Amino acid sequence: MILRSSPASPFGRKVKIALAVLGLKDKVEVVVADTNDAADVLRQQNPLGKIPVLVLDDGKSIFDSRVIVEYLDQLAGGGKMIPAGPARIDVLVQHALADGLMDAALLQVLEGRWRAEDRREAKWLAYQAEKIQRVLKVWALGYLDLRFEGKWRADHPKMVKWLDAFAAQNPSFEETRFKG
């Protein structure tokens, strides 16, 4: 299988960590994708032109990251990352919360990338930032370290502790950190 992603993608990183946790790392070759390059085959693999995409050996594409994690979990026997039974919905809600946080962070990054400084909408940026603040009351993630200089850490010592413990238990967290 091929994973189309980029080193800085938080959604791609999630899939890479899932691969490591599920013991499937060796089954996947990571091929870097450039979402801005119209010539990249990515747009044929996923008409949305988004990463990550998992391309199976028969050529079938699986996206988005939530579906990829679901697929990988099934491949590993099922119920390893996303349990069956009553806990399933709770885990999926946490997963949706994680993705929503990354979406809100990414939208702020994209505003900076696509809009000239005098055309940026402060109200829109604040609207997205407030989502992150609300989620941070519950927990936080590495993408905020990468793009927002770890500013969340000062106000959320409990989450720093949680993330340190998660990183200690899962070497793939550090291995997949974007170091560019």
Ligand X SMILES: N[C@@H](CCC(=O)N[C@@H](CS)C(=O)NCC(=O)O)C(=O)O
Binding site for ligand X (CB under 6 A): 9-11, 35, 49-52, 63-66, 99, 106
Find the shortest distance in angstroms from Cβ 66 to ligand X. Answer: 6
Find the shortest distance in angstroms from Cβ 63 to ligand X. Answer: 6
Find the shortest distance in angstroms from Cβ 102 to ligand X. Answer: 7
Secondary structure in 3-state letters for the chain: CEEEECCCCHHHHHHHHHHHHCCCHHHCEEEECCCCCCCCCHHHHCCCCCCCEEECCCCCEECCHHHHHHHHHHHCCCCCCCCCCCHHHHHHHHHHHHHHHHHHHHHHHHHHHHCCHHHCCHHHHHHHHHHHHHHHCCCCCHHHHHHCCCCHHHHCHHHHHHHHHHHHHCHHHHHCCCCC
Find the shortest distance in angstroms from Cβ 173 to ligand X. Answer: 17
Which lies closer to ligand X via its Cβ, residue 50 or residue 177?
Answer: 50
Which lies closer to ligand X via its Cβ, residue 21 or residue 101?
Answer: 101
The closest residue (CB) to ligand X is 64
